[in-house]
């Protein structure tokens, strides 16, 4: 079955530490890939997206993500986390079968940042 | 620079009541979407409208209806609200074609008693 998996429900890091949030998908062909962030009480904001080309993509707020076709993964990274990064992060895919317009979301990873 | 605007932001209903959630976008996007967000389940697509005049079911359409009023507006209606529909509802919009990144509103928090 088609799915998006974010294995970590909660992650806690110290401010200034590095961060990696995992995302795996299961689709027959490479879909479009996205990471969104949701602050408490807010809507979702697009961090970055991958459509094709360079497998390392840069996003806003100092985030980057790497697409690895062999592992069906699209992990989100940040070298040094700031307290304001505390939020919930969602990986999403737009499979070709949906005309690339339907987003399938993972369950999310909630990030806490310790001072 | 409003983007996607949802109204109301909060609502409490009694079981069996009806309600329409409103959504409008000012980005001239063709496609619009309604999602619900429940704890531990991410966002699930309820209905979407690929373009003005068309609507299609998503993953969880039961108990909902939609209307694409014009290019800007896409409403979601609960005809007879049930406690299982307590959720946070998000509207989103996107351009067609090679840039399907969706832009989200701030959500409507709906409680059904």
- What pLDDT digit, counting tens, does each position of A60-91 carry? 999 999 999 999 999 999 999 999 999 999 99
Contacts with A54 (C-beta within 8 Å, 6 or more apart), sequence order = none
The long-range contacts involving B67-75, CB below 8 angstroms and separated by at least 24 positions, are B68/B32, B71/B28, B71/B30, B72/B24, B72/B25, B72/B26, B73/B22, B73/B23, B73/B24, B74/B23, B74/B24, B74/B32, B74/B33, B74/B34, B74/B49, B75/B20, B75/B21, B75/B22, B75/B23
Query: Torsions phi, psi of B41, nearest 5?
Result: -125, 5
Q: Yes or no: say if B43 and B107 are a contact pair by the CB < 8 Å rule.
A: no
Of A41, A94, A107, the CB nearest to B40: A107
Please return the burial class of B21, using the count of CB atoms within 10 Å of its CB with bins 0-12, 13-18 and 19+. buried
In whole angstroms, give the CA distance from residue B91 to residue B108.
9
Of B42, B58, B96, the CB nearest to A107: B42
Q: pLDDT for B21-53, tens place per residue?
A: 999 999 999 999 999 999 888 899 999 998 888
Please return the burial class of B5, using the count of CB atoms within 10 Å of its CB with bins 0-12, 13-18 and 19+. middle
Distance from CA of B43 to the nearest CA of A (A): 6
Cross-chain residue pair A43–B44, CB shorter than 8 Å: no
Tell me the chain B residues in contact with residue A43 when contact means C-beta distances shorter than 8 Å: 4, 90, 104-107
Torsion of Cα atoms, B72 then B59 then B63 then B3, to 10°: -20
Successive 10-residue mean pLDDT values, chain B, 113 residues: 90 96 94 92 91 90 95 96 96 77 92 96
Q: Is the peptide bond before B8 cis (omega within 30 degrees of 0)?
A: yes
Residue A1 has pLDDT above 70, yes or no: no
Of B31, B44, B105, the CB nearest to A43: B105
pLDDT at B40: 81
Cross-chain residue pair B40–A90, CB shorter than 8 Å: no
Give the distance from CA B10 to its chain's centroid: 14
* Count of pairs with CB atoms under 8 A, one residue in A, one in B: 53
Give the distance from CA B27 to its chain's centroid: 17
Q: State both tokens at B20.
A: 């329409």
Give the distance from CA B96 to its chain's centroid: 18
Nearest 5°: CA angle at B57, between B55 and B63? 110
Tell me the chain A residues in contact with residue B102 when contact means C-beta distances shorter than 8 Å: 46, 103
For residue A91, the chain B residue with the least C-alpha distance is: B42
Q: pLDDT for A34-51, tens place per residue?
A: 999 999 888 899 999 998
Mutate to test the interface with B, among A36, A60, A102, A108 (most CBs of B within 10 A): A102
For residue A88, the chain B residue with the least C-alpha distance is: B42
């Amino acid at each position: 079955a088609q799915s998006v998996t974010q294995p970590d429900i909660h992650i806690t890091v110290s401010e200034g530490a590095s961060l990696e949030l995992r995302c795996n998908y299961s689709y027959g062909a490479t879909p479009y890939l996205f990471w969104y962030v949701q602050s408490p009480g807010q809507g979702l904001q697009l961090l970055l997206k991958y459509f094709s080309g360079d497998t390392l993509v840069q996003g806003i707020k100092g985030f980057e993500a790497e697409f690895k076709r062999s592992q069906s993964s699209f992990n989100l990274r940040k070298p040094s986390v700031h307290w304001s990064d505390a939020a919930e992060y969602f990986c999403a895919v737009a499979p070709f079968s949906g005309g690339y317009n339907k987003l399938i979301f993972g369950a999310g990873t909630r990030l806490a940042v310790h001072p | 620079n409003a983007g996607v605007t949802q109204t109301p932001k909060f609502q409490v209903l009694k079981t069996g009541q009806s309600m329409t959630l409103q959504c409008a976008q000012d980005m001239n996007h063709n496609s619009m979407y309604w999602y619900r967000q429940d704890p531990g389940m991410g966002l699930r697509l309820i209905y979407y409208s690929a373009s003005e005049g068309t609507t299609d079911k998503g993953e969880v359409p039961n108990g909902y209806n939609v209307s694409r009023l014009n290019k800007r507006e896409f409403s979601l209606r609960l005809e007879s609200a049930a406690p299982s529909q307590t959720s946070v509802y998000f509207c989103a919009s996107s351009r067609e074609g090679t840039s399907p990144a969706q832009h989200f509103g701030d959500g409507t928090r709906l409680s059904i008693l």
